Amino acid sequence: MELLKEYATGIIVVSVLAILLENILPATSHKKYINVVIGLVVMLVIVSPVTKLFDVRSAFVLPELVIDDSDLSEKGGKSLVAEDFAQRLSNKLSEEVNKRCGQTVNVTVFVDVNEKGEITGIRKITAFPMNDNIRTAIVDCSGIEAGKIVEGDAE
């Protein structure tokens, strides 16, 4: 009996609030959208006991988005981000030099990382083989000054 009383009270309260909102709001072009939302809320209150009976809510539960950064919060994990950045930049620069110079070049980027594991800058870029055209292409693509671009080892 208490459940039925609660149900009727809920419908009455929501209906009275809906009528008040409908009369308080000015007649604007948005009023029809507001009425639709109010109608949906009233319908949800009316249908809520049915969802409790059939446990329909569990069918409509959205999965929780949990981002697990526990492996990145460790000191070694932060360096993984820096290593990944350096590797991707190295690959991109190798591709760009190949496009511009028509020559396959092994480019390696070395980044500076602070104690928090954040990338603070690029220490140097090595390239093999190295010549002035390749150095100029790397400077144009990366924006790094030419003094930080040196000849590296053949790997």
Q: Name the strands in the sheet holding 106-113, side by side, starting at the edge strand that comes first in the sequence.
A: 106-113, 119-128, 149-151
pTM over 0.75: no
Alpha-carbon gap, residue 155 to 148, rounded angstroms = 19
pLDDT digits (tens, 9 = 90+) for 36-89: 888 888 888 888 777 666 665 555 555 565 655 555 545 555 677 888 888 999
The single-letter DSSP state of residue 116 is T
How long is the chain? 155
